[in-house]
Structures are given as structure tokens and as C-alpha cells.
Amino acid sequence: MKFFNLKDTEMSAMLDEIEELAGYKFKDQDLLLTALRHSSYVAEQSEPYECNQRLEFLGDAVLQLVLSDFLFTGLPDAQEGILSRTRSMLAREQANASYALKLKLDKALLLGNGENMSGGRERPSILGDAFEAFLGAVYLDGGLEEARDACLRLLPKPQECLQSLGLKENPKGMLLEYCQSRHQQKPEYVCVSAEGPAHKPIYEVKVIFKGREIARGLGKNRKNAECDAAKNAMLNKEWEADLLD
């Protein structure tokens, strides 16, 4: 964990690296610096710096528009409900934090001493806000198309978004459809164990397909454990090659 802000000499090189990763060169690099200033940092400075909250507000709106267009164009057969849920998945805090990490914004964030020491540089809420502020900065500096291009570099393909949504909402249904369409057979779920205190047990379930165990999962009840097992089976399909042996 990093407990300090970059020195001025280091920050310049880091800003250049962020621009390279984003595929965008700022005309006014002060906008990028503002996007990286957390309110905790500004509160400790004698000079009246602006923090990234206003840029975050703007970037949130830009992100919603970019994602809406991205999904509307990339998933022409998807209904409004699917589009909305997929957009929410791509714009949630954890997703925004992952975009920030891809751009290495975490390394350049300017945080107050207390926020630094308490792990703020790794906190999803701070990282997500920084990404939205970054997007707002790109929009102000270069316009909507540049912000769109910078954002799209970080997103998965539309069909991969649908698969991720399916794994999140209905992993058992996805595994069932996959097994039936490719192998004309259904998976089965077997409870391996239920351990822990009676009021809070942890269930372990395995998925059996064509007589072989293909994945295991854990959960606070059997249903959750089965969903976890199905998700693991879909994320790691090495078992499918074993069926050909």
C-alpha cells in the first residue's frame, strides 16, 4: 500500500503515462491534475486548489451518455430492461474503480495524509470518483468524442457485457443453456457439506456434468452455493476439454 503522494518531478511523468494509457493528450494538463485532487488533499493545502468533485459530477453524466450509446449501438436486439441493467453494471462503483486502475489513476491521486494512511488510494469509492472526474476533464478539454474514445478503450465488448450480466443475475440458467446447447445434457448439483454454526452455516456444492465434477461453489445457503458453482463452471471451462478425453 502506498502512503504518500508523488513528488512534482514524479507527477509529470505519471501524468504522461496516464495520457498514453487513455489515448488522449490534454491541451490543459491542469484539468487532469484537478481530476486527481481529492477533497482531503485540498483541505490540507494553504493555496485554494479545486478538488475533483465538480469534475466528478460532470464525468458521471458523460459516462451515462457514453455507456447508453455504446450499449444501444452494440446490442441492437436488447430490450430496455437489459440495456439499463447492463449500463448499471458498467457504471457501478467497483467498475469505475477498475477503470481508474487501468489508467493508473491510483498512483497519481493526491490525497490528504489521513486518507493516504487509511488506505484511501485503494478505496473503490475514491477510485471510482477519480475516474468520473478524469472523464469530465477529458470532456472539458477535448469534447464528447474524445471522452467517448477514452472510455471505450476501457470497456469490454458488448456481448461480453451481456455474459457478465448473465453470470451476475442467473449463472445457473447460463450454465444450463450452455450445457444443453453444446452437449444436450443438464448439469446436476450435489451438496458436499454445510459447516459452521447452526445460525450461520456455509454450504459447499459441486456441479456434476456427464458424471464428472466440473466446479464447486460456496454460499450461505444451498441456492447461493449452487449459483457460485455455476458461475465458477462458466468462468473456467477447462472441464469441457476433459469431456473429450
Whichever domain contains 225, its CATH number is: 3.30.160.20
Q: What type of residue is 168? A: K
What per-residue confidence (pLDDT) applies to 146?
Answer: 98
Which structural domain range is residue 59 located in? 8-157
**238 and 192 share one domain:** yes
Rounded to 5 degrees, φ, ψ at 110 are -100, 110
Grid cell of 66 as nine digits: 457514453
Residue 10 falls in the annotated catalytic set: no
**Those residues with Cβ within 8 angstroms of residue 82's Cβ, 6 or more apart along the chain or in another chain:** 75, 162, 165
- Please count the structural domains in the chain: 2
What per-residue confidence (pLDDT) applies to 182?
Answer: 85
Give the tens place of pLDDT for each residue, 66-121: 999 999 999 888 889 888 989 998 999 999 999 999 999 999 999 999 999 999 99
Q: CA-based angle 139:141:143, to the nearest 5?
A: 45
**151 and 33 share one domain:** yes
Whether the predicted pLDDT of 59 surpasses 60 = yes
**149 and 181 share one domain:** no
Q: Annotated catalytic residue: which of 56, 115, 129, 132?
A: 132
Q: Annotated catalytic residue: which of 60, 141, 204, 226?
A: 60
Domain boundary among 96, 127, 157: 157
Domain boundary among 157, 187, 206: 157
pLDDT band at 160 (very low <50, low <70, confident <90, very high): confident
**51 and 132 share one domain:** yes
Q: What type of residue is 43? A: A
**132 and 219 share one domain:** no
Number of Cβ within 10 Å of residue 227's Cβ equals 23
Residue 60 falls in the annotated catalytic set: yes
Give the ranges where the chain is alpha helix by DSSP (H).
8-22, 29-36, 39-42, 53-74, 80-91, 93-102, 105-108, 113-117, 124-142, 144-152, 158-169, 171-183, 222-235, 238-242
